[in-house]
C-alpha cells in the first residue's frame, strides 16, 4: 500500500528559516535509510505558505484566490513523503524513526492513499461504465 506522511508546519518553517545543519544531516540519513529499504518513492519540502495561495470555492461556484500566509500554522503542510509499505504499521514504525522535523514541537500525519480497489462496493459497475462513457466522450472531443 501507499501512504503519505505529511510533515506539519512549524513557526520556523513558516518563517522560511532553514533547519540547522545537524537536522539536515539527520534528515538526509533518514531519507537514505528509507530509500535503501525500498520504502521511499518520493518526498519533498514545501516553501512557506506566505508564498502560496488558496483557491476558495464558494457555495455558488465562485472562485476566489486568497494569498498566503495562512493562520493555524500547525495545520499547514511543510513537506511530505510518499511511501510504499506492506502495512500501515510499517509506515508508522518508519516515521517513529524520523528525526523531529522541527527544532520545536512538531507533528507528522500518516494517511493511506486510495487505490482503485479501495472504492470496492461503492464503485459499482454502473459507475464504472459511466466513467468509461465520460472518458470515451472526452477522447472524442480531443
Partner 1 sequence: MSEQDARRAIDAVWRIESARLIAALARMVGDVGIAEELAQDALVAALEQWPRSGVPDNPGAWLMATARNRAIDRLRRNEMAARKEEELGREVELRARLEERDLAAAADDEIEDDLLSLIFTACHPVLATEARVALTLRLVGSLTTGEIARAFLVKESTVAQRIVRAKRSLAEARVPIEVPGAAERERRLASVLEVIYAIFNEGYAASGGEDWIRADLCEEAMRLGRILAGLVPREPEVLGLVALMELQAARFPARTGPAGEAIPLPEQDRSRWDFVLIGRGLKGLDLAEALGRPLGPYALQAAIGACHARARSAEQTDWERIVALYDALDAVTGSPVVRLNRAVAVGMAFGPAAGLELLDGLAEEPALRSYHLLPAARGEFLERLGRVEEASAEFARAAALSGNARERELLQARSSGSAPT
Cell numbers describing residue 29: 540519513
Min separation Cβ 113 and partner 1, Å: 10
Strands 77-84 and 2-8: antiparallel
**Residues 6 or more apart whose Cβ sits within 8 Å of residue 54:** 65, 66, 68, 70
One residue of 4, 26, 82, 110 binding partner 1 per CB under 8 A: 82
Query: DSSP 3-state assignment of 30?
Result: helix
Should residue 120 be labelled a site residue for partner 1 when binding is judged by CB under 8 A? no
x/- track of binding to partner 1 for residues 20-39 (CB under 8 A): ---------------xxxxx
C-beta of 70: minimal distance to partner 1 in Å? 27
Q: Which of 43, 46, 69, 90 binds partner 1 (CB under 8 A)?
A: 90
Per rule CB under 8 A, is residue 111 in the interface with partner 1?
no
Q: Which three-class secondary structure state does DSSP give residue 125?
A: helix
Of residues 21, 44, 60, 117, which one binds partner 1 by CB under 8 A? 117
Task: Note whether 108 and 7 are within 8 A (CB).
Answer: yes
Figure out which of the listed residues 58, 59, 120, 125 binds partner 1, where binding follows CB under 8 A.
125
Residue 121 binds partner 1 (CB under 8 A): no
How far is it, in rounded angstroms, from Cα 78 to Cα 108? 10
Amino acid at each position: 500500500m501507499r501512504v503519505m506522511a505529511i510533515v506539519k508546519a512549524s513557526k520556523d518553517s513558516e518563517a522560511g528559516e532553514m533547519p540547522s545543519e545537524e537536522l539536515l544531516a539527520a534528515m538526509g540519513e533518514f531519507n537514505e535509510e528509507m530509500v535503501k529499504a525500498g520504502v521511499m518513492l518520493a518526498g519533498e519540502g514545501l516553501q512557506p505558505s506566505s508564498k502560496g495561495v488558496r483557491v476558495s470555492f464558494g457555495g455558488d461556484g465562485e472562485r476566489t484566490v486568497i494569498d498566503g500566509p495562512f493562520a493555524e500554522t500547525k495545520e499547514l503542510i511543510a513537506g511530505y513523503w510518499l511511501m510504499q509499505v506492506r502495512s500501515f504499521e510499517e509506515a508508522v514504525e518508519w516515521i517513529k524513526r524520523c528525526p523531529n522535523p522541527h527544532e520545536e514541537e512538531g507533528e507528522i500525519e500518516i494517511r493511506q492513499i486510495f487505490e482503485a480497489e479501495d472504492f470496492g462496493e461503492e464503485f459499482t459497475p454502473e459507475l464504472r461504465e459511466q466513467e468509461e462513457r465520460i472518458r470515451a466522450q472526452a477522447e472524442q472531443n480531443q
